[in-house]
Structure 1
């Protein structure tokens, strides 16, 4: 049994109520509710942080174990098993529901692993939380911006299926992933650099063109070029414009 599972029941009790036998607890945690910062009662705060400590210890152990694998397939299998065995997602959903706000390396690493495993929707579900709390990516990553990280990964995913042809794009439903992510960007109005934004919309345009969704391809291509004149889809946009009878200045 993992260290997490051995301690979960005790930790949950500390979060829900006060253990009178343990004496008074003077620790205080910060909680955000409806945009206002409030304090969590001391005993509950201690329980929340104790639970984080348990899961952080489990994650530290998992990260150390991953270094022992030389093959990507073994790393992927280990990540999938660790997420299930340590019940990381259950913990993160509790963390989210409690409204607690502190730097959480477990949250960061689990989202990264979800992307590695292709569990994009679940990763997207945590993105607003990551952004609202200004959660940092681990130091080994070259970017500290979550949308940029995800766009880089999405671009590679799109390019992989695009290189395999129309059938692969349709089977993978990768276009749906781009649609979901773009919807998140539009909803939350997260800022992107022109280079990264152009990269996102250029790949979305290419994917849509590959399955003959020319209207969508045209719209994405125009947006990509507006963000970055060197996004690489001008010729494609001009050709699509002729086909669908659109005027373009490109």
Structure 2
């Protein structure tokens, strides 16, 4: 059994009072009234918080176990198995569908793990919810702004593929992630600082340029420079403008 598997088993065993096989406690209370036994059904809010407590216990234990790993590969393997074994995504989709709204550290950590694992599409499903509910990032992160956090992570992802050249960018389809996030941001009108907005559009422009999508590269480069004059793509925009026959004041 691998070290990841062993620690996963320890995690499940360590969640005191939580049966991972059967889920949250579904029992009800009873009272005797006028000689009759009456069942007291838990309220909807009680059921919601009971389920949250159940998954929070699982997450707390997972976070403790992760501290025992020193290699990133082991941490990533553990996160992937935890998401599957503890059915975190099923819980989060129920949380979302129910219209529930409370500070939810399980939601925050699972989205962070999805980004770590490169499961961007699934992470994007929950970003509007995170922002709308003003969910807090864990305290260890320097920002409490989800769009800023995600743009920083996306930028690093884009830079990694860009450094490997055109073929790597095309194979990864990382440009689609940037475009999808830009569309999400436009739909929900999330405010961005000039620095972060410039960063988002500048990397998108660079990725489009390396695969010879010059029209898109020009458009995103102009947006980046409009947001932040020091976004670092002025020269590229001028060169592209010459190639595609556009006049530019940049």
Normalised by the length of structure 1, the TM-score is 0.88
Does the CA-based 8 Å contact 1:4-1:55 persist in structure 2? no
What is the rounded CA distance, in whole Å, between the counterparts of 2:119 and 2:75 in structure 1?
15
What is the rounded CA distance, in whole Å, between the counterparts of 2:219 and 2:19 in structure 1?
48
Task: Quote how far apart the aligned CAs of 1:218 are.
Answer: 0.1
What is the rounded CA distance, in whole Å, between the counterparts of 2:124 and 2:82 in structure 1?
20
Give the CA RMSD over aligned residues: 1.5
Residue among 17, 20, 34 paired with 1:5: 20
Question: Which residue matches 1:61?
Answer: 61
Q: Cα–Cα, structure 1 residues 43 and 7, in superposed 2: closer, same or farther, change >3 Å? A: farther
After TM superposition, the structure 1 = structure 2 runs for residues 1-250 of structure 1, keeping only pairs within 5 Å, are 2=12, 3=18, 5-8=20-23, 10-11=25-26, 19=28, 21=30, 24=40, 43-250=43-250
Over 3 Å off, 4+ runs: 1-4, 22-25
What is the rounded CA distance, in whole Å, between the counterparts of 1:21 and 1:97 in structure 2?
30
Does the CA-based 8 Å contact 1:4-1:86 persist in structure 2? no
Task: Quote how far apart the aligned CAs of 1:6 are.
Answer: 3.6
SS of 1:136's equivalent in the other structure is coil
Task: Quote how far apart the aligned CAs of 1:9 are.
Answer: 6.0
What is the rounded CA distance, in whole Å, between the counterparts of 1:176 and 1:114 in structure 2?
17
Does the CA-based 8 Å contact 2:198-2:225 persist in structure 1? yes
What is the rounded CA distance, in whole Å, between the counterparts of 1:244 and 1:6 in structure 2?
61
What is the rounded CA distance, in whole Å, between the counterparts of 1:58 and 1:10 in structure 2?
14
What is the rounded CA distance, in whole Å, between the counterparts of 1:21 and 1:7 in structure 2?
22
What is the rounded CA distance, in whole Å, between the counterparts of 1:96 and 1:212 in structure 2?
40
Q: Deviations over 1:68-120 (max 9, x none)?
A: 00000000000000000000000000000111100000000000000000000
SS of 1:8's equivalent in the other structure is coil
Q: Cα–Cα, structure 1 residues 21 and 6, in superposed 2: closer, same or farther, change >3 Å? A: farther
Does the CA-based 8 Å contact 2:169-2:175 persist in structure 1? yes
Q: Deviations over 1:18-62 (max 9, x none)?
A: x3537647xxxxxxxxxxxxxxxx612111100100100000000
Q: Deviations over 1:131-181 (max 9, x none)?
A: 110000000000000000000000000000000000000000000000100
SS of 2:43's equivalent in the other structure is helix
What is the rounded CA distance, in whole Å, between the counterparts of 2:111 and 2:21 in structure 1?
24
Q: Which sections of structure 1, spanning at least 5 residues, go unmatched?
A: 26-41
Normalised by the length of structure 2, the TM-score is 0.88
Does the CA-based 8 Å contact 1:7-1:54 persist in structure 2? no
Q: Cα–Cα, structure 1 residues 61 and 76, in superposed 2: closer, same or farther, change >3 Å? A: same
Q: Cα–Cα, structure 1 residues 4 and 212, in superposed 2: closer, same or farther, change >3 Å? A: farther
